[in-house]
Structure formats: structure tokens, C-alpha cells
Amino acid sequence: MDSSPADEELERKEMYAPYLHKVAVPPKQNLFKEFQSTVKETFFSDDPLRSFKDQTKSKKLILGVEAIFPILNWGRAYNLKKFRGDVISGLTIASLAIPQDIGYAKLAHLAPQYGLYSSFVPPLIYSAMGSSRDIAIGPVAVVSLLMGTLLSNEIDPVTNAEEYRRLAFTATFFAGITQATLGIFRLGFLIDFLSHAAVVGFMGGAAITIALQQLKGFLGIKTKDFTTKTNIVSVMRSVFSSAHHGWNWQTIVIGASFLGFLLVAKYIGKKNKKFFWVPAIAPLISVVLSTFFVFITRADKQGVAIVNYIEKGINPSSVSEIYFSGENLGKGFRIGVLAGMIALTEAVAIGRTFASMKDYQLDGNKEMVALGAMNIVGSMTSCYVATGSFSRSAVNYMAGCQTAVSNIVMAIAVFLTLEFLTPLFKYTPNAILAAIIIAAVISLVDIQAAILIWKVDKFDFIACMGAFFGVVFVSVEIGLLIAKLGRQVSISFAKILLQVTRPRTAILGKIPRTSVYRNIQQYPEASKVPGVLIVRVDSAVYFSNSNYVKERILRWLIDEEEKVKGEYHIKIQFLIVEMSPVTDIDTSGIHAFEELHRSLKKRGVELVLANPGPAVTDKLYTSNFANLIGEDKIFVTVAEAVAHCSPKLAEEEP
């Protein structure tokens, strides 16, 4: 006896029933608890108090002290083997740091000893409070340039050297306050607003600017003949205008010879990691040889500019020199915040890089507190802003450092230099310091990273180039402004506006021999289900895009219906919206789906939803939209939604 159509439909439903699952409505969440959860996830996602739970008061005190001074924790497991590795790496980075520090201090328009001071006290503070094993602390080129540029815009470093120095200490103090505050209040996510692309552009532009600034010492141009501006046009005009009378051929020979030596040493170290020590000690060798050469030939009498004098002795106190009132307080605060953020961005990026290479966890908030504390103490001991140096950290890593003790070893080497060796630098030519800085900053121009940014995201590349050209052709401040704000305010706004108002949608098809549904443009082998149009919306649905989403889905449907007519396929009866990427929906979005449902109903097409998230599901039921389309039209997966449609589609088959 033949079965009736109703019996066949019932039989099909029973056949598919085991494969269908009802989408659960999430429990209502208390508004206060939801807010509390969001705050916890933003500021305390790592649960910093986890280790304190179920501990005695004395144990909590010990853990609290160890949290502030991690050296008390890892120091218990310290041994002679680790010490040997730290001594070697510490002495190696010291040989690189000492000549760089002298040059970087000049970049910041400070006397050479202040660069050495900044590689003595800050590394000692960091080694006790920092959580990175590999980062090497001291002055760096980009921050030195930034400090020198911003400070000199306020006070002339030549005519008002004392006030300039005081403003530098004030800026360093507030840089430390900024860094420590971000760490204490767990606001480290703010530094992520400086995108990778913007950092690449800013660093590359700063490297070009720093190298151009060194032409003064490299060519032997007198300070009075050289511009104080940093943009490429002003610098090159200054260079060429002084060509007839301002260049010194002996200086050029010294600078070019040793720059060639430094670049060859860097190339050797890059080609063979076993020779990492060659580029590390090359700067110190260059200083020793060039100083000896100038001394025996008395080239300083022939116009070769020399360092002349570095004050002997360790850091004097500078507490009384910090501005805590007056107009310079505001200037120091503004410069300090900018310098502190840039220094923090560089240090955290370096720390994370080497932590991932050695597979250990880096506590970002502890890093900020440590960096802030060392700069606060540094400002009171005649230091300017110190941070993590990528070149020194790389050498530290390759030299086999085990812990932050390598920073202590480096600081001791700098201490001995300040106490006993500074007179030996009297005849060091400025040209060699310029060559060392040029060789050091070349690696900051990351062409491969810029090419990759271009390939991945054109908007990011615009931000990158904007920051680069802003630094090179205008000023460091403008480049920083573009890097910090241009990306976030203009470029990112345009990008987000496009993504939010015109979200991507895609038609899905079934991957052969699976129950997986994917974008048919990305997976050509994916096949459409006859009689069913499956559309995925790749964005939250808000008032800004709800109308577009509705219209775009209808356009997909119209296009598919035209194809069906032309190819004599089964008429489309179901429209499945895959909602897993839809993280949220507002009332405008609900209203748009209601209008979509009504439009589809007029066309004889049923609306089916697949995999809405908990927030979306809650709103679909709260707004009564789930009842409007039918609770049996919301499924866990696309495959289940298709299975639901199959019985009715079977009736349409010829």
C-alpha cells in the first residue's frame, strides 16, 4: 500500500531528528555581574591574585615582596653555571653599550657622561624588578632623538645647558611616573593603540633622521654651521651649504673607514650566529683604535673634533634639579609622557619577542612598573630615559644570558668605566661615535616588514608610510603624531567605518564528503545546496550596517534566483543565515531581520538561522523574533539547518 505525502514527510522528519539540536537560550546575566566580568577581563585577565589564594599571611607577604622584586624568586635557583653565562653576556653588551651611550647622549644634546649614567643605575633597578631574562637596559637611539628634539624645542641646550639638563631629568621623572602608573593600574593595553605598522614606519623614519643627524660629526661640520632641525630637507641643505668650508677630510676618512669596519662586522655576525660577538665588540675596538690614532697623530690639531672631556665618577644626585613647579613642570610632564610611552612600547615589544623565543611568560604590568621605577630613580641620579635596547638585547640573548644578572654585570662594567676609564676617551673622535650610531640604527629600517605590511593590509601600509614620511620630511613630533593618532583617528576610522557599515558577506557551499560549509569563492570545490541559499554575515549587526546587511542578503537571493531560472534548478525555498561571526545585534539589526523575514515570506522563501552566539540568541528571543520565524528555525550548525530543509526540498525534486 502506497504511503501518503504526509506520512513520507513525517518519516523524513523522524529520520533527521537525531541530527538536529535545539539552540539553547543563555541565562539572563545580572547587569552588574556582566560589567564586573568585562572589567576583570580587561584589567585582570591574568588573575594576578591567583597565587595568593588559600595562603597564610606570612606566605602572602613573601609572595607580595617577590611579586615586586622577582629577583628574590628566581634568585633562589641561581647557580654558577648561570652566572658564567651572565658574566659573558654582561661584558659583551657592556663593550657595545659604552661607546653607544656616549653617542646617544650627544643625540639627546647631553654631556657624554649622562649616557653612561643611564646604563649604570637603571639596569640595577630593572634587574631586581623586571621579569625579562634577556632585555638589556640603557639609552636607545630613538628615545634619545625624541628627547633631544622635544627638549631643544623648549630650551636651547647650548646657551642654557643647566636648564636643559634639569628639564631632561624632569621629563625622565614623568616618563617613569607614566610607565609605573600604567603598570600599577594595569593599563598596559593602552600601548597597543600604537599599531605595529605605525611603529615600523616611525622607527624607520627615526633611523633615517638619526643617521642624517650624524653627518655633522661624520663630516666634521662645526655645530654653528649645522641646523637644529631634524627633517631631511633642512639637514641636507645644511650639509651642502657647508661643503666648501665646513667639511674636514681627516674626519671623513676616520668616519668612513670605521663605518665600513662596523658594517662588515655586522654582516659577519648576521651571516654566522657563532660570530655574534664580532659586531658586539666592534664598536669598542673602533673607539680604542680611532682614539689611539688621533692621539698619536694629534689629528685634533688638524680639525678633527674629539669628545674632549667626560666627567669622572658615578651618578651625582639630581633630585634638587627636577622641576616640581613653574612652567617647566608642564613641559617636562608633556615630554615625559611621550618619551615614556615610546620607551615602553619598544621595551615591551623586545621583552615579548625574546620571551617567546625562550618560551617563558612575561608579565607586561610588572615590566611597566619595573621600567617606571628605574626611570623615576634614574631621574634622581642624573639619568635620562632608559629602556630596552633591541641591538643589545639581541647580543645579550646570543651571548647566552641566563637571567637579569647580565644587566648587573654590564652596570658594574659601566661603573668601572666611570670611575677609572673616562680620561681615556678624551681623544675619541666624534666621527667614530657618528659611525657607531649610523651602524646601530640601520637595522631599524625594516624594509621586509614594510613589504609584508603592504601585502597584508594596504591601510596599515598607509599608516606606516605616513609615520615614516612624517618623521623624515617634517619632524619627529609630527611623525609620532601620525603614528599615534593618524592610524587610530583617521586611517583606522576610515577602515573601521568601511568594515562596520559595509561588512563582508559570503555564499557558503558544502565541502564534498564532509558536513562543513565554506565560502564558495575561497573553496571552489564547495557546492551549493539545491533549493537553499546559505549566506554568512561577517560582522556584528548594528544600526550602522543593518540596512546594508538586509539589502545585501536580498541581492544575493535575487542573483541566485536569476541563475536558478536560467539553469532550471530547484527554486530557492530556504535562506540560511550563518551567524557565528555575528558577535552582537542591536534593535536596528533585529528590525532589519524582521523586514528580511517579511520580504522572504512574500517570495515564498523561509528564513533559517544557524549558530547565533549567546548574546545574539538572547536578543532574538527577548525581542520575540525567534517566535516570529519559529523556534524550530534556529539551529546549532549549517549542516543541521540544511537537514531541516531537506524533507521539503525532496518534495520539489522531479
Q: What is the pLDDT of residues 353-368, one digit of tens each?
A: 788 778 777 777 888 9
Summary mean pLDDT of the chain: 84
Higher-pLDDT residue of 57 and 322 is: 322
Q: Cα 472–476–478 angle (5° rounding)? A: 90
Give residue 35's identity as a one-letter amino acid code. F
Contact indicator for 409, 86 with CB cutoff of 8 Å: yes
**Cα gap 172→383, rounded to integer Å:** 8
CA-closest candidate to residue 230, choices 479, 466, 441, 442: 479
Looking at the predicted structure, is the pLDDT value of residue 307 above 60? yes
**Cα gap 472→470, rounded to integer Å:** 6
Provide the pLDDT for residue 2: 54
- pLDDT tens per residue, range 403-433: 999 999 999 999 999 999 999 899 999 899 9
C-alpha cell at 24: 539553547
**Cα gap 140→391, rounded to integer Å:** 9
Q: Grade residue 293 by pLDDT with cuts at 50, 70 and 90.
A: very high
Q: Grade residue 54 by pLDDT with cuts at 50, 70 and 90.
A: low
Sorted by sequence, the CB contacts under 8 Å of residue 133 that are 6+ apart come out as: 354, 355, 358, 360, 401, 402, 403, 404
Give residue 394's identity as a one-letter amino acid code. A
Looking at the predicted structure, is the pLDDT value of residue 648 above 90? no
The angle, 0 to 180 degrees and rounded to 10, between the axes of the packed helices 405-416 and 121-129 is 160
Q: Grade residue 1 by pLDDT with cuts at 50, 70 and 90.
A: very low
- The CA distances from residue 404 to 132, 375, 379, 388, in Å, are 7, 17, 22, 12
Q: Grade residue 441 by pLDDT with cuts at 50, 70 and 90.
A: confident
Q: Which of 389-403, 446-460, 471-485, 574-588 has the lowest mean pLDDT?
A: 471-485
Give 5-25+503-652's CATH code, choosing from 2.60.120.620, 3.40.50.720, 3.40.50.620, 3.30.750.24: 3.30.750.24
- Torsion sign (Cα): 507, 513, 515, 518: negative
Q: Grade residue 19 by pLDDT with cuts at 50, 70 and 90.
A: very low
Looking at the predicted structure, is the pLDDT value of residue 165 above 90? yes
Provide the pLDDT for residue 358: 80
Looking at the predicted structure, is the pLDDT value of residue 164 above 60? yes
- Torsion sign (Cα): 40, 42, 45, 47: negative
Percent of the chain beyond pLDDT 90?
35
Higher-pLDDT residue of 308 and 154 is: 154
Provide the pLDDT for residue 83: 93
Strand ranges, E, within 171-289? none
Provide the pLDDT for residue 186: 77
**Cα gap 85→266, rounded to integer Å:** 22
Sorted by sequence, the CB contacts under 8 Å of residue 177 that are 6+ apart come out as: 336, 340, 372, 376
**Cα gap 13→9, rounded to integer Å:** 6
- The domain spans of the chain are 5-25+503-652, 72-494
- pLDDT tens per residue, range 189-216: 666 556 677 778 888 888 898 888 888 8
Q: What is the mean pLDDT of residues 133-142?
A: 92
Provide the pLDDT for residue 302: 85
Give residue 182's identity as a one-letter amino acid code. L
Looking at the predicted structure, is the pLDDT value of residue 24 above 60? no
DSSP 32: H
Higher-pLDDT residue of 222 and 312 is: 312
